[in-house]
Chain A
Amino acid sequence: MSMKPEEVLRVIAAERGTAVVIPTMTTAPAWREIAPDDLSVTCAGFMGGASALGLGIALARPDRRVVVLDGDGSLLMQLGSLASIAGARPRNLTHLVFKNGVYHTSGSQDIPGGLTVDFVAMAKGAGYKSAYAVRELDDFKRRLPSILGDEGPLMVELITGLAEKTPMTARGGQPFNVQVEDLRKKLLRVR
Protein backbone atom coordinates (compact mmCIF):
# COMPACT_ATOMS: atom_id res chain seq x y z
CA MET A 1 0.00 0.00 0.00
CA SER A 2 1.49 3.31 -1.02
CA MET A 3 1.27 6.34 1.21
CA LYS A 4 -1.63 8.71 1.02
CA PRO A 5 -0.42 12.21 0.10
CA GLU A 6 -2.70 13.75 2.74
CA GLU A 7 -1.08 11.64 5.47
CA VAL A 8 2.35 12.77 4.39
CA LEU A 9 1.23 16.40 4.39
CA ARG A 10 -0.23 16.10 7.89
CA VAL A 11 3.05 14.79 9.20
CA ILE A 12 4.95 17.63 7.53
CA ALA A 13 2.51 20.24 8.86
CA ALA A 14 3.02 19.03 12.41
CA GLU A 15 6.81 19.27 12.24
CA ARG A 16 7.59 22.11 9.88
CA GLY A 17 8.03 24.92 12.41
CA THR A 18 8.79 28.14 10.52
CA ALA A 19 9.60 26.48 7.19
CA VAL A 20 8.21 28.04 4.02
CA VAL A 21 6.23 25.47 2.01
CA ILE A 22 5.52 25.52 -1.72
CA PRO A 23 2.78 23.11 -2.77
CA THR A 24 1.70 22.52 -6.35
CA MET A 25 -0.88 20.39 -8.17
CA THR A 26 -2.47 17.70 -6.00
CA THR A 27 -0.71 18.80 -2.85
CA ALA A 28 -2.27 22.27 -3.15
CA PRO A 29 -5.91 21.67 -2.07
CA ALA A 30 -4.90 19.31 0.73
CA TRP A 31 -2.19 21.63 2.03
CA ARG A 32 -4.67 24.50 2.08
CA GLU A 33 -6.89 22.51 4.45
CA ILE A 34 -4.13 21.01 6.55
CA ALA A 35 -2.06 24.19 6.99
CA PRO A 36 -4.39 27.08 6.17
CA ASP A 37 -2.89 30.13 7.78
CA ASP A 38 0.72 29.95 7.04
CA LEU A 39 4.00 30.52 5.35
CA SER A 40 3.14 29.01 2.00
CA VAL A 41 2.88 30.02 -1.61
CA THR A 42 1.24 27.74 -4.16
CA CYS A 43 2.72 27.21 -7.58
CA ALA A 44 -0.35 27.39 -9.82
CA GLY A 45 -0.52 28.71 -13.36
CA PHE A 46 3.10 28.00 -14.21
CA MET A 47 3.45 24.24 -14.15
CA GLY A 48 6.89 23.05 -13.12
CA GLY A 49 7.86 26.25 -11.32
CA ALA A 50 7.68 25.07 -7.71
CA SER A 51 11.33 24.02 -7.53
CA ALA A 52 12.69 27.31 -8.95
CA LEU A 53 10.36 29.35 -6.76
CA GLY A 54 11.70 27.44 -3.78
CA LEU A 55 15.26 28.02 -4.95
CA GLY A 56 14.74 31.80 -5.12
CA ILE A 57 13.22 31.97 -1.64
CA ALA A 58 15.87 29.66 -0.20
CA LEU A 59 18.73 31.78 -1.56
CA ALA A 60 17.13 35.03 -0.46
CA ARG A 61 16.35 33.70 3.05
CA PRO A 62 19.09 31.28 4.08
CA ASP A 63 17.80 31.53 7.66
CA ARG A 64 14.63 29.58 6.75
CA ARG A 65 14.01 26.04 5.64
CA VAL A 66 12.15 25.95 2.33
CA VAL A 67 10.17 22.82 1.45
CA VAL A 68 8.95 22.25 -2.12
CA LEU A 69 6.04 19.80 -2.55
CA ASP A 70 6.54 19.01 -6.23
CA GLY A 71 4.59 16.83 -8.66
CA ASP A 72 6.38 14.20 -10.74
CA GLY A 73 4.93 15.52 -14.02
CA SER A 74 5.69 19.07 -12.94
CA LEU A 75 9.31 18.29 -12.19
CA LEU A 76 9.66 16.62 -15.59
CA MET A 77 8.52 19.89 -17.17
CA GLN A 78 11.42 21.81 -15.59
CA LEU A 79 13.86 19.01 -15.02
CA GLY A 80 16.80 21.33 -15.60
CA SER A 81 15.92 22.96 -12.29
CA LEU A 82 17.65 20.01 -10.61
CA ALA A 83 20.96 21.21 -12.04
CA SER A 84 20.16 24.86 -11.37
CA ILE A 85 19.40 24.00 -7.74
CA ALA A 86 22.45 21.80 -7.32
CA GLY A 87 24.64 24.50 -8.88
CA ALA A 88 23.30 27.22 -6.57
CA ARG A 89 23.69 24.96 -3.49
CA PRO A 90 20.91 26.21 -1.22
CA ARG A 91 21.71 24.49 2.09
CA ASN A 92 18.16 25.11 3.33
CA LEU A 93 16.16 23.59 0.46
CA THR A 94 14.18 20.36 0.78
CA HIS A 95 12.64 19.10 -2.44
CA LEU A 96 9.87 16.53 -1.95
CA VAL A 97 8.55 14.90 -5.10
CA PHE A 98 5.10 13.33 -4.86
CA LYS A 99 5.54 10.49 -7.28
CA ASN A 100 2.18 9.08 -8.30
CA GLY A 101 3.24 8.15 -11.82
CA VAL A 102 0.52 10.26 -13.42
CA TYR A 103 -0.63 13.74 -14.25
CA HIS A 104 -3.41 13.40 -11.70
CA THR A 105 -4.64 16.98 -11.98
CA SER A 106 -5.16 16.86 -15.74
CA GLY A 107 -6.98 13.52 -15.69
CA SER A 108 -4.46 10.90 -14.53
CA GLN A 109 -2.66 10.31 -17.81
CA ASP A 110 0.62 8.41 -17.28
CA ILE A 111 3.68 10.66 -17.14
CA PRO A 112 6.35 9.70 -19.70
CA GLY A 113 8.00 6.64 -18.22
CA GLY A 114 5.38 6.33 -15.47
CA LEU A 115 6.66 5.02 -12.16
CA THR A 116 9.96 3.87 -13.68
CA VAL A 117 11.30 7.44 -13.81
CA ASP A 118 13.98 7.61 -11.13
CA PHE A 119 14.08 11.11 -9.63
CA VAL A 120 16.53 10.02 -6.95
CA ALA A 121 19.11 9.08 -9.56
CA MET A 122 18.44 12.31 -11.42
CA ALA A 123 18.85 14.48 -8.31
CA LYS A 124 22.06 12.68 -7.39
CA GLY A 125 23.29 12.98 -10.95
CA ALA A 126 22.58 16.70 -10.90
CA GLY A 127 24.58 17.12 -7.70
CA TYR A 128 22.05 17.27 -4.84
CA LYS A 129 23.65 16.80 -1.46
CA SER A 130 21.44 13.78 -0.85
CA ALA A 131 18.47 12.03 -2.39
CA TYR A 132 16.47 8.92 -1.53
CA ALA A 133 13.03 7.39 -1.92
CA VAL A 134 10.46 6.75 0.80
CA ARG A 135 7.46 4.47 0.42
CA GLU A 136 6.19 3.94 3.98
CA LEU A 137 4.65 6.55 6.26
CA ASP A 138 6.52 5.24 9.31
CA ASP A 139 9.80 5.55 7.46
CA PHE A 140 8.86 9.11 6.46
CA LYS A 141 8.02 10.02 10.05
CA ARG A 142 11.31 8.62 11.25
CA ARG A 143 13.29 10.54 8.69
CA LEU A 144 11.39 13.81 8.91
CA PRO A 145 13.73 15.59 11.36
CA SER A 146 16.64 15.05 8.99
CA ILE A 147 14.49 15.86 5.94
CA LEU A 148 13.77 19.25 7.52
CA GLY A 149 17.17 19.76 9.09
CA ASP A 150 19.94 18.22 7.03
CA GLU A 151 22.09 20.26 4.72
CA GLY A 152 20.46 20.70 1.33
CA PRO A 153 19.70 20.63 -1.40
CA LEU A 154 18.08 17.34 -0.59
CA MET A 155 15.42 15.42 -2.45
CA VAL A 156 13.02 12.82 -1.20
CA GLU A 157 11.00 10.92 -3.75
CA LEU A 158 7.72 9.97 -2.08
CA ILE A 159 5.94 7.05 -3.68
CA THR A 160 2.30 7.91 -3.09
CA GLY A 161 -1.18 7.06 -4.23
CA LEU A 162 -3.57 9.65 -5.61
CA ALA A 163 -4.76 12.57 -3.50
CA GLU A 164 -8.48 12.83 -2.82
CA LYS A 165 -8.68 16.24 -4.48
CA THR A 166 -6.95 18.04 -7.29
CA PRO A 167 -6.89 21.74 -8.12
CA MET A 168 -9.51 20.90 -10.74
CA THR A 169 -11.97 19.21 -8.40
CA ALA A 170 -11.30 21.57 -5.49
CA ARG A 171 -10.86 25.03 -6.88
CA GLY A 172 -10.24 27.97 -4.63
CA GLY A 173 -7.47 29.37 -2.56
CA GLN A 174 -6.08 32.85 -2.91
CA PRO A 175 -4.82 34.05 -6.29
CA PHE A 176 -1.07 33.71 -6.75
CA ASN A 177 -0.42 37.45 -6.47
CA VAL A 178 -2.21 37.64 -3.11
CA GLN A 179 -0.22 34.68 -1.83
CA VAL A 180 3.02 36.29 -2.98
CA GLU A 181 2.30 39.52 -1.12
CA ASP A 182 1.07 37.70 2.00
CA LEU A 183 4.16 35.58 2.27
CA ARG A 184 6.43 38.53 1.53
CA LYS A 185 4.73 40.54 4.27
CA LYS A 186 5.17 37.75 6.77
CA LEU A 187 8.79 37.00 5.92
CA LEU A 188 9.95 40.61 5.79
CA ARG A 189 7.50 42.12 8.24
CA VAL A 190 6.45 44.77 5.74
CA ARG A 191 5.52 47.94 7.62
Chain B
Amino acid sequence: MPESIPASLIIDTLRDTFREARAAIAAEVAEPPQHSHLGWVLSVPDTHQKTVLSALDKERDMQVITFATEDEATTAAAGFYIGGEPCVMMIQHAGLYASVNTLRGVAMDGKVPIFYMIGLLSREKDKDPKESRHSMVRYCEPLLDVFGVPHARLEGPNDVHLIPKYHRMARERRGPAAVLVGLETI
Protein backbone atom coordinates (compact mmCIF):
# COMPACT_ATOMS: atom_id res chain seq x y z
CA MET B 1 0.00 0.00 0.00
CA PRO B 2 1.28 3.52 -0.76
CA GLU B 3 1.97 5.86 2.13
CA SER B 4 2.02 9.63 2.55
CA ILE B 5 5.40 11.36 2.76
CA PRO B 6 6.06 13.99 5.44
CA ALA B 7 6.82 17.47 4.13
CA SER B 8 9.96 17.69 6.27
CA LEU B 9 11.45 14.65 4.55
CA ILE B 10 10.79 16.09 1.11
CA ILE B 11 12.31 19.40 2.13
CA ASP B 12 15.47 17.77 3.49
CA THR B 13 15.73 15.77 0.28
CA LEU B 14 15.28 18.89 -1.84
CA ARG B 15 18.05 20.55 0.11
CA ASP B 16 20.41 17.64 -0.66
CA THR B 17 19.25 17.63 -4.27
CA PHE B 18 20.06 21.31 -4.67
CA ARG B 19 23.46 20.87 -3.02
CA GLU B 20 24.33 18.13 -5.44
CA ALA B 21 23.09 20.17 -8.41
CA ARG B 22 25.08 23.20 -7.30
CA ALA B 23 28.22 21.13 -6.96
CA ALA B 24 27.69 19.79 -10.48
CA ILE B 25 27.30 23.32 -11.87
CA ALA B 26 30.34 24.55 -9.95
CA ALA B 27 32.43 21.76 -11.44
CA GLU B 28 31.27 22.61 -14.94
CA VAL B 29 31.52 26.39 -15.10
CA ALA B 30 33.97 29.14 -14.29
CA GLU B 31 31.39 31.70 -13.22
CA PRO B 32 28.58 30.10 -11.22
CA PRO B 33 26.01 32.64 -10.08
CA GLN B 34 26.31 33.97 -6.54
CA HIS B 35 23.16 33.49 -4.52
CA SER B 36 22.72 33.06 -0.81
CA HIS B 37 20.12 30.31 -1.14
CA LEU B 38 20.39 26.73 -2.38
CA GLY B 39 17.74 26.56 -5.07
CA TRP B 40 14.37 27.56 -6.43
CA VAL B 41 10.99 25.87 -6.30
CA LEU B 42 8.82 26.92 -9.25
CA SER B 43 5.25 26.32 -8.34
CA VAL B 44 1.70 26.58 -9.46
CA PRO B 45 0.23 25.40 -6.19
CA ASP B 46 -0.55 21.70 -6.04
CA THR B 47 -3.19 20.66 -3.52
CA HIS B 48 -1.46 17.32 -3.17
CA GLN B 49 1.85 18.86 -2.04
CA LYS B 50 0.40 21.76 -0.06
CA THR B 51 2.10 20.74 3.20
CA VAL B 52 5.44 20.95 1.40
CA LEU B 53 4.61 24.38 -0.01
CA SER B 54 3.56 25.76 3.35
CA ALA B 55 6.65 24.33 5.05
CA LEU B 56 8.82 25.83 2.30
CA ASP B 57 7.47 29.27 3.15
CA LYS B 58 9.53 29.12 6.34
CA GLU B 59 12.73 27.97 4.64
CA ARG B 60 15.24 30.70 3.88
CA ASP B 61 17.55 28.60 1.75
CA MET B 62 14.94 27.70 -0.86
CA GLN B 63 13.04 30.34 -2.81
CA VAL B 64 9.53 29.55 -3.91
CA ILE B 65 8.31 31.43 -6.97
CA THR B 66 4.62 31.13 -7.70
CA PHE B 67 3.58 31.37 -11.32
CA ALA B 68 0.18 32.08 -12.82
CA THR B 69 0.52 29.12 -15.21
CA GLU B 70 2.63 25.99 -15.62
CA ASP B 71 3.66 27.24 -19.08
CA GLU B 72 5.40 30.16 -17.43
CA ALA B 73 6.97 28.01 -14.72
CA THR B 74 8.37 25.57 -17.29
CA THR B 75 9.74 28.33 -19.47
CA ALA B 76 11.23 30.13 -16.49
CA ALA B 77 12.95 26.85 -15.55
CA ALA B 78 14.78 27.09 -18.88
CA GLY B 79 15.87 30.59 -17.89
CA PHE B 80 17.19 29.26 -14.59
CA TYR B 81 19.12 26.59 -16.47
CA ILE B 82 20.67 29.19 -18.78
CA GLY B 83 21.57 31.27 -15.74
CA GLY B 84 23.09 28.31 -13.88
CA GLU B 85 20.59 28.07 -11.03
CA PRO B 86 19.10 24.76 -9.83
CA CYS B 87 15.33 24.51 -9.61
CA VAL B 88 12.45 22.08 -9.31
CA MET B 89 8.96 22.36 -10.73
CA MET B 90 6.19 21.59 -8.25
CA ILE B 91 2.84 21.18 -9.99
CA GLN B 92 -0.11 18.82 -10.24
CA HIS B 93 -1.18 16.49 -13.02
CA ALA B 94 -3.69 19.01 -14.41
CA GLY B 95 -0.80 21.47 -14.69
CA LEU B 96 1.16 19.01 -16.76
CA TYR B 97 -1.81 18.65 -19.12
CA ALA B 98 -2.13 22.44 -19.24
CA SER B 99 1.48 22.93 -20.28
CA VAL B 100 2.15 20.17 -22.76
CA ASN B 101 3.22 22.47 -25.61
CA THR B 102 5.80 24.02 -23.32
CA LEU B 103 7.06 20.63 -22.16
CA ARG B 104 7.60 19.82 -25.82
CA GLY B 105 8.87 23.17 -27.09
CA VAL B 106 11.05 24.14 -24.15
CA ALA B 107 12.14 21.07 -22.20
CA MET B 108 12.34 18.60 -25.06
CA ASP B 109 13.24 20.63 -28.14
CA GLY B 110 15.38 22.93 -26.03
CA LYS B 111 17.12 19.96 -24.39
CA VAL B 112 16.68 21.66 -21.05
CA PRO B 113 16.99 19.65 -17.84
CA ILE B 114 13.67 20.26 -16.13
CA PHE B 115 12.76 18.21 -13.09
CA TYR B 116 9.07 17.93 -12.21
CA MET B 117 7.37 16.91 -8.99
CA ILE B 118 3.79 16.18 -10.02
CA GLY B 119 1.04 15.54 -7.51
CA LEU B 120 -1.49 12.85 -8.40
CA LEU B 121 -4.43 14.52 -6.70
CA SER B 122 -7.42 12.16 -6.22
CA ARG B 123 -5.32 9.05 -6.72
CA GLU B 124 -7.03 6.18 -4.90
CA LYS B 125 -4.87 4.53 -2.28
CA ASP B 126 -5.80 1.01 -3.30
CA LYS B 127 -5.42 1.47 -7.03
CA ASP B 128 -2.70 1.75 -9.59
CA PRO B 129 -3.08 5.23 -11.17
CA LYS B 130 -3.78 3.58 -14.51
CA GLU B 131 -6.92 2.08 -13.00
CA SER B 132 -8.10 5.31 -11.38
CA ARG B 133 -11.69 6.46 -11.82
CA HIS B 134 -10.32 9.94 -12.51
CA SER B 135 -9.03 10.86 -15.95
CA MET B 136 -6.59 13.35 -14.45
CA VAL B 137 -4.93 10.56 -12.49
CA ARG B 138 -5.10 7.99 -15.27
CA TYR B 139 -3.46 9.91 -18.09
CA CYS B 140 -0.42 11.32 -16.35
CA GLU B 141 1.99 8.40 -16.72
CA PRO B 142 0.80 7.48 -20.25
CA LEU B 143 1.26 11.12 -21.31
CA LEU B 144 4.81 11.17 -19.98
CA ASP B 145 5.42 7.89 -21.84
CA VAL B 146 4.16 9.38 -25.11
CA PHE B 147 6.67 12.20 -24.71
CA GLY B 148 9.44 9.85 -23.65
CA VAL B 149 9.83 11.60 -20.30
CA PRO B 150 11.37 9.27 -17.70
CA HIS B 151 9.28 9.11 -14.56
CA ALA B 152 8.93 7.30 -11.24
CA ARG B 153 6.34 7.28 -8.51
CA LEU B 154 6.95 8.26 -4.90
CA GLU B 155 4.84 5.72 -3.04
CA GLY B 156 6.15 6.43 0.44
CA PRO B 157 9.04 7.77 2.54
CA ASN B 158 11.40 5.09 1.23
CA ASP B 159 11.13 6.50 -2.28
CA VAL B 160 12.43 10.02 -1.69
CA HIS B 161 15.85 8.98 -3.01
CA LEU B 162 14.15 9.14 -6.42
CA ILE B 163 14.07 12.94 -6.13
CA PRO B 164 17.86 13.47 -6.46
CA LYS B 165 18.02 10.53 -8.86
CA TYR B 166 15.56 12.03 -11.34
CA HIS B 167 16.93 15.54 -10.86
CA ARG B 168 20.34 14.12 -11.84
CA MET B 169 18.76 12.21 -14.71
CA ALA B 170 17.26 15.42 -16.13
CA ARG B 171 20.70 17.01 -15.96
CA GLU B 172 22.46 14.09 -17.57
CA ARG B 173 19.94 13.51 -20.34
CA ARG B 174 19.40 17.23 -20.91
CA GLY B 175 15.67 17.02 -20.93
CA PRO B 176 12.68 16.61 -18.68
CA ALA B 177 12.32 13.97 -15.94
CA ALA B 178 9.53 13.60 -13.42
CA VAL B 179 8.57 12.07 -10.12
CA LEU B 180 4.90 11.64 -9.32
CA VAL B 181 3.72 12.12 -5.78
CA GLY B 182 1.38 9.17 -5.17
CA LEU B 183 -0.45 10.29 -2.06
CA GLU B 184 -1.03 13.65 -0.49
CA THR B 185 1.99 14.77 1.55
CA ILE B 186 1.55 15.25 5.29
The 0/1 profile, CB within 8 Å of A marked 1, for residues 58-69 of chain B is: 000000011111
Q: Which residues of A contact B77 (CB under 8 A)?
A: 56
| Residues on B with beta carbons closer than 8 Å to the beta carbon of A63 | 33
Interface of A is mostly: helix
Once the chains bind, are B105 and A45 in contact (CB under 8 Å)? Answer: yes
Q: Which of B23-68 contact A (CB under 8 A)?
A: 25, 28-33, 40, 65-68
Alpha-carbon distance between A78 and B67 when the two chains are bound, in angstroms: 11
A87 contacts the other chain (CB 8 A): yes
A154 to B72 CA separation, bound complex (whole angstroms):
18
Q: What's the Cα separation between A100 and B149 when bound, in Å?
A: 38
Are A61 and B83 closer than 8 Å at their CB atoms? yes
Q: Does B112 contact A (CB under 8 A)?
A: yes
Q: Which of B66, B76, B105 is A56 in contact with, Cβ under 8 Å?
A: B76
Contact present for A88 and B30 (CB under 8 Å): no
Q: Are A177 and B28 in contact (CB under 8 A)?
A: no
A59→B84 contact, CB < 8 A: no
Question: Are the CB atoms of A190 and B28 closer together than 8 Å?
Answer: yes
A55 to B106, CA, bound (A): 15
* CB pair B29 A191 closer than 8 Å: yes
A53 to B28, CA, bound (A): 22
Nearest CB of chain A from residue B129's CB, rounded to whole Å:
28
Number of interface residues of B (CB under 8 A): 35
The answer to whether A80 touches B68 (Cβ under 8 A) is: yes
Which listed segment binds B: A7-15, A155-163, A180-188?
Answer: A180-188
Nearest CB of B to A77, in Å: 9
Q: Write out the residue numbers on chain A whose beta carbons fall within 8 Å of the beta carbon of B76.
A: 52-53, 55-56, 59, 84
A25 within 8 A of B: no
Instruction: Choose from A53, A78, A176, A188 the contact partner of B109 (Cβ within 8 Å).
Output: A176
A96 interface residue, CB < 8 Å from B?
no
- By a CB distance below 8 angstroms, the chain A residues around B102 are 46, 49
Chain B stretch 81-98: residues in CB contact (< 8 A) with chain A: 81-85
**Which residues of chain A are within 8 angstroms of B73 by Cβ–Cβ distance?**
52
B75 within 8 A of A: yes
Pairwise interchain contact B84-A52, C-beta atoms closer than 8 A: no
For B78, give its contact among A56, A59, A61, A80 (CB under 8 Å). A56
Instruction: Give the most central of B28, B33, B82, B112: most A CB within 10 Å.
Output: B82
B101 interface residue, CB < 8 Å from A?
yes
Contact between A180 and B110, CB atoms less than 8 A apart? yes
Say yes or no: is A1 at the interface (Cβ < 8 Å to chain B). Answer: no
**CB closest residue in chain A, given B175:** A177
Please name all residues of chain A whose beta carbon is closer than 8 Å to the beta carbon of B32 when the two chains form the complex: 188
Nearest residue, chain A, Cβ from B34: A63
Contact, CB under 8 Å: B31 / A60 = no
State which of A57, A181, A191 has its C-beta within 8 Å of the C-beta of B79: A57
The 4 closest A-B pairs by CB, nearest first: A56-B79, A60-B83, A80-B68, A46-B105
Interface residues of A (CB under 8 A from B): 41, 45-46, 48-49, 51-61, 63, 78, 80-81, 83-84, 87-88, 175-177, 180-181, 183-184, 187-191
Q: Can you identify 14 A-B contacts, CB atoms within 8 angstroms?
A: A46-B102, A49-B106, A54-B79, A55-B79, A78-B72, A80-B69, A83-B68, A84-B72, A176-B110, A177-B112, A188-B29, A188-B30, A188-B31, A191-B29
